[in-house]
Amino acid sequence: MATRRMIKVREMVEESIWKAYDDKRMTRQEVAEELHHLYGVAQWAQHLAARRNLVPDIACVIGLMHDIGRIEKDWSGERHVLEGAKLAKKMLARMDIFSETELKIIRKAIKTHNRKSEVEQASYAELIKDADLLSRYYEDSAKKLGASKQRRLEQLLRELSQMENLETDTWSLKKFIPKWVETR
């Protein structure tokens, strides 16, 4: 079930994406792809968090915000994670619905989410890497992965193969994604 915080963050991210569209920084196709990716990452993050005894709504927020640097500022590569993490913390702090500890967790996870060959001590940092990789894999399973990403993916797929009843788990975002997103 979506919490109020998750919904507020989702609305803020969607607003950023539609602003990029209105400013001609994104096409309608790119908007659809971005929303699909962010919702996928958020959903995988929630599910993995529940499996790993982490807080699913914090994981969902990280999933929704992990590419905010690219969305808001058109940053790419390392800059989209380093500066994007600072931007995410600033945007979320303005909402005044997250503790300082939660903001630090979110920032750290976003800051390292592109370093999939490295293993972090922070569990949310690993979680977002895994959720991002799973989302990208299911968006295009034919895409060739580097050796470290392939190893990480194989480990994740083994972890997932041990799960039962994926469709009935409580982490589903079916009610989380509003209908109007598809029609705007």
Q: Where are the domains of the chain?
A: 4-161
Highest mean pLDDT among 57-61, 114-118, 153-157: 57-61
Instruction: Provide the residue type at 129 as one letter.
Output: K
Q: Is the pLDDT of residue 151 over 80?
A: yes
* Cα–Cα–Cα angle for 125, 52, 60, rounded to 5 degrees: 55
Q: Is the pLDDT of residue 167 over 60?
A: no
Q: Is the pLDDT of residue 160 over 60?
A: yes
pLDDT band, residue 142 (cuts 50/70/90): confident
How is residue 55 written in tokens?
A: 């807080």
Write down the pLDDT at residue 172: 46
What is the model's pTM?
Answer: 0.83
Q: CA-CA distances (angstroms) from residue 95 to 5, 82, 91? A: 9, 21, 7
Q: CA-CA distances (angstroms) from residue 28 to 20, 22, 38, 87? A: 10, 10, 15, 24
End-to-end CA distance of the chain, in Å?
24
Domain 4-161 has CATH 1.10.3210.10: yes
Write down the pLDDT at residue 170: 46
| Chain centroid to CA 1 | 17
Neighbouring C-beta atoms of residue 32, cutoff 10 Å: 15
